[in-house]
Chain A
Amino acid sequence: MTQEIIIAGFGGQGVLSMGKILAYAGMLQGEEVCWMPSYGPEMRGGTANVTVILSDDRISSPYLKVYDTAIILNQQSMDKFESAVKPGGVLVYDPNGITHHPTRSDIDIYQVDGYRLASEMGNKKVFNMILLGGFLKIKPVVKIENVLKGLKESLPERYHHLLPLNEEAINKGMQSIFAYDVEKQLVLEHA
């Protein structure tokens, strides 16, 4: 099994670290993993994206045109990556700031209101963990216990007191993901 995932948004939204935690969790459960970021000046406030691949086999290309899953955090990324989801694939997005919602009917689309939930939790930085939680609810490609280990590993020790908050954010995301109906343009049901 190979899972090809793109996570895309603004620089500073925690796109790269979300990908890193996912890759780390994959490694902990014995999978081959690859984390391939966009890099350079574009990351300073511009768009940032990262490709994460998890596989039982040797991973071939780290650079892809189409993905099993896209996790999308802003409009620019929606414009760029909605079409890059394989038919039958999954698109998870945060509706905050999205003016043109996705329209494809050959993929499964979900919303997580990550920004609003993070604000409610009093720490906007856990936004990415809420999205990750939502994604893992739909596609449990890695175990939550390994995600928590990955978090611990990628957070510098001085932030380790924030680990419980991040765990809470993941759980919050798992509870707060909703399927989106492109025809009715509505969030339909609890996923």
Chain B
Amino acid sequence: MEVLDIIRPENQVFCKTGLMTDATLTYCPGCGHGTAHNITMEVIDEMGVVEDTIGVAPVGCSVFAYDFMAVDMTQAAHGRAPAVATGIARTWPDKYVFTYQGDGDLAAIGTAETIHCCNRGENIVIIFVNNGIYGMTGGQMAPTTLPGMKTSTSPYGREIETMGSPIKMSELIANLPGTYYVTRQSVHTHKHVRKAKKAIRKAFENTRLKKGLSFVEIVSNCNSGWKMTPNESNIWMEEHMFPYYPLGDIKVNGKLKQVA
């Protein structure tokens, strides 16, 4: 039997996500962004809504999201993706509009746009990748950087007294009446990837039902910025990030979950 005889559709058990382009990902090996991109595009593909989907790319590591996600995309100024998405969603109310943003973008420079977009309950999906650092500009402190964590702008560790505490965006915006679904996920193991994809699916289903704003936070690693190997960074994430940013649903169907 020749190799070509084996490569047949009926023998295929795994394939590249249809809605990812052939462009080489610019993310560092081990980074969670690629997986987050993948599952987002899988959801769009599986729901069969690619012709009605418009994405908004941020500024940060995922600034080139539009090179990788094979849907119509608009690149926004730093932090402004929720406002850009508002402009699209308000004038195209039947489309699936999503933003894909990092922590510097969403939780620092774009805090006002994030909060007010959530408060208005825009019928969009926000995918928020939180890795506690500014990756693209070379590992500076983010609003989500953990206490004591070393970055290039907190070389002796984040001091709460002078630099403030890391901000928990999901908990913050879950308290706004405009948000319908708020959840925190991760993509570092198969199990977590499956759960995160389910959450993203739920978010886009909410858009279909015009339920308002769905917010999916993905706690992720930044092995380059954290100066670790990919594996070390995942372990560090579990040990340090998850206690501060606990995984799970925070608000479902417009109702806050009881905190244990």
- Tell me, yes or no, whether A and B come into direct contact in the complex with CB atoms closer than 8 A: no
Measuring CB to CB, which residues of chain B are less than 8 angstroms from any residue of chain A?
none
